[in-house]
Amino acid sequence: MSQTDRYREHLSTLDDYLSRALERAGKQGLELDGALFHAGRASSYYADDQEIPFVASPHFRRWAPMPGAEHLLLARPGKKPIVVRVQPKDYWYDSSPPPPSYWESEVELKEATTFSEACQIARHAAGNFDRLAYVGSSPEAATEAGFPAERIDPPTLLAPLDWYRAYKTAHEVDLLRRACALAARGHLAARDAFEAGASEREIHRAYLGGCDHLGCDLPFGSIAALDSKAAILHYQQKRGAGETPGDLLLMDAGAVYEGYAADLTRTWVRPRVDPIFRALLLGVDVLEQELVAMVSPGRPYLEIHLAAHQAVAKLLAETGILKVSAEEALNAGVTGTFLPHGVGHMLGIQVHDIGGRMAGPEGGEVPAPAEHPYLRCTRIVEPGMVLTIEPGIYFIPMLLEPLRAGNNAAMIDWPLVDKLSIYGGIRIEDDVLCTPDGAEDLSRELLPGPK
Ligand SMILES: [Mn+2]
């Protein structure tokens, strides 16, 4: 199937989701014929003329894979979408039109040089804006276009649109695969740099080179953590040379393809790393793949998260970090010290894709359990969902201290924990598609695990 065919199918699915969303909004008193999706408006830093790097709003991006601000997309069920591309007349920036792309034949593409001209074109096509909702990130732009407050990002329309974001079309899965392929190349380059003794800054640059990204292309700030810094879950620094022996690299980094994000993590070690730590690393790699295999239709994602804690308890017992049985430690809640984050999240246009805790298309929340407040997804896994699976084991001083001082201290071999703490921690993450038959790991074949 060609990319154009996949995109055509994708649009037809979006058309269906939009119909259902409009119907739900109608039942709640908001009668609408369609939506006007806005790419969004670029803005500057406070009291500055430097623009903040622009990212188009996700609903617009789902319909049209077009970079840049201010574009409009008029979507009405059963009608070809109308895309008004805004290309400002400007000699400060490159405003030449992008090369023709596979998707353009499937929409009615119109050109404007300003937002207000784009609004005129969209208004002319729609008759008027009276039965449309504005969906986008800029209430000012919506007001400028004449939308009253109740038709700007109405929650009754957005809830179902957010809910259906979880179900990826074949077109979206294709883009996610391409993003994974890019990220995998970055990770392999980062691993090679690490093995050659590179600093965090050098590893970061190697990663960018590997996936041919500029820093601003990344879906999130890469985590390139050497040694004990791997214990900082969202470690944001990049150290230069000479500050660390570099026995371990925890690299959590993604890539973007046409607005869709990959999010992969690998932990690599040097041959001289402590053998118990290596056993722990290989153990996490094995249990991660077991958790990946659990991604299947009808399974609550929470079950995978709880299984991660069981598997971590077992591994901590096997490696001697626990002086009690896995079960005893699990019941005492000790695994939370070593795995203090959720096992993963939904992935798509956003790295932590929206709707992970939604109760249904009408909205509402299924909260994470009180003992696992950081779990980002509480939905039932269904075909078409793309999820990350990313268990880890960390030696985080701030979390170890209360365990050491508390009633469960005797469960832990503290001299061993102190010995392994220099390595910071381990996380392994793959991106997984739920198919009708079960899990399809989109990244593992492209990026092997540690040896
Ligand atoms: Mn992730």
CB atoms within 10 A of CB 401: 11
Is 415 within the bounds of a domain? yes
Q: How far is the CA of 136 from the centre of ligand 1 (A)?
A: 25
Is 128 within the bounds of a domain? yes
Q: How far is CA 427 from the centre of its chain?
A: 16
Q: How far is the CA of 444 from the centre of ligand 1 (A)?
A: 15
Q: Are residues 132 and 177 in the same domain?
A: no
Q: How far is the CA of 184 from the centre of ligand 1 (A)?
A: 14
Q: What is the CATH number of the domain that holds 195?
A: 3.90.230.10
Is 78 within the bounds of a domain? yes
Signed CA dihedral, 25, 26, 31, 37: sign only: positive
Is 287 within the bounds of a domain? yes
Is 450 within the bounds of a domain? no
Domain final position from 106, 138, 164: 164
Q: Are residues 145 and 218 in the same domain?
A: no
Rounded-to-integer distance, Cα 265 and Cα 392, Å: 10
Rounded-to-integer distance, Cα 151 and Cα 32, Å: 9
Look up the pTM and report it. Answer: 0.97
Is 204 within the bounds of a domain? yes
Q: Are residues 210 and 294 in the same domain?
A: yes
Q: How far is the CA of 156 from the centre of ligand 1 (A)?
A: 29
Q: Are residues 259 and 128 in the same domain?
A: no
Helix count (H) and strand count (E) of the chain?
Answer: 13, 13
Domain final position from 149, 164, 179: 164
Q: Are residues 11 and 148 in the same domain?
A: yes
**SS3 string of 45-97?**
CCCCCCECCCCCCHHHHHHCCCCCCCCEEEECCCCCCEEEEECCCCCCCCCCC
Overall number of domains in the chain: 2
Q: How far is the CA of 22 from the centre of ligand 1 (A)?
A: 32
Q: How far is the CA of 286 from the centre of ligand 1 (A)?
A: 18
Cβ neighbors of 125 (< 8 A, separation 6 or more) are 74, 82, 108, 110
Side-chain half-sphere of 15: how many Cα atoms within 13 Å? 15
Rounded-to-integer distance, Cα 247 and Cα 268, Å: 8
Q: Are residues 176 and 142 in the same domain?
A: no
- Identify whether the C-beta of residue 301 lies closer than 8 Å to the C-beta of residue 345: no
pLDDT at 423: 98
Q: How do the pLDDT tens digits run along the chain, 451 residues long?
A: 999 999 999 999 999 999 999 999 999 999 999 999 999 999 999 999 999 999 999 999 999 999 999 999 999 999 999 999 999 999 998 888 889 999 999 999 999 999 999 999 999 999 989 999 999 999 999 999 999 999 999 999 999 999 999 999 999 999 999 999 999 999 999 999 999 999 999 999 999 999 999 999 999 999 999 999 999 999 999 999 877 789 999 999 999 999 999 999 999 999 999 999 999 999 999 999 999 999 999 999 999 999 999 999 999 999 999 999 999 999 999 999 999 999 999 999 999 999 999 999 999 999 999 999 999 999 999 999 999 999 999 999 999 999 999 999 999 999 999 999 999 999 999 999 999 999 999 999 999 999 9
- Could you write out the DSSP letters of every residue in 403-427? HHHSTTGGGB-HHHHHHHGGG-EEE
Q: How far is the CA of 197 from the centre of ligand 1 (A)?
A: 26
Q: Are residues 154 and 191 in the same domain?
A: no
- What is the domain extent for residue 118? 3-164
pLDDT at 242: 78
Q: Are residues 155 and 28 in the same domain?
A: yes
Q: Are residues 91 and 184 in the same domain?
A: no
pLDDT at 126: 95
- Identify whether the C-beta of residue 377 lies closer than 8 Å to the C-beta of residue 346: yes
Q: Are residues 177 and 198 in the same domain?
A: yes
Domain final position from 142, 164, 186: 164
Q: Are residues 295 and 336 in the same domain?
A: yes
- Could you write out the DSSP letters of every residue in 348-398? SSSSS-TTTTB-STT--B-PPPTT-TT----SBP-TT-EEEE--EEE--HH
pLDDT at 97: 83
Tell me which residues have their CB within 5 A of the ion that is ligand 1. Answer: 263, 388
Strand order in the sheet with 438-441: 386-389, 430-435, 438-441
Instruction: Cite the beta strand spans of 195-335 per DSSP E.
Output: 223-226, 248-257, 260-269
Rounded-to-integer distance, Cα 61 and Cα 39, Å: 7
Q: What is the CATH number of the domain that holds 149?
A: 3.40.350.10
Strands 386-389 and 392-394: unpaired
Q: Are residues 138 and 210 in the same domain?
A: no
Q: Is 216 helix (H, G, I), strand (E, B) or coil?
A: helix
Is 447 within the bounds of a domain? no
Is 449 within the bounds of a domain? no
Rounded-to-integer distance, Cα 422 and Cα 211, Å: 30
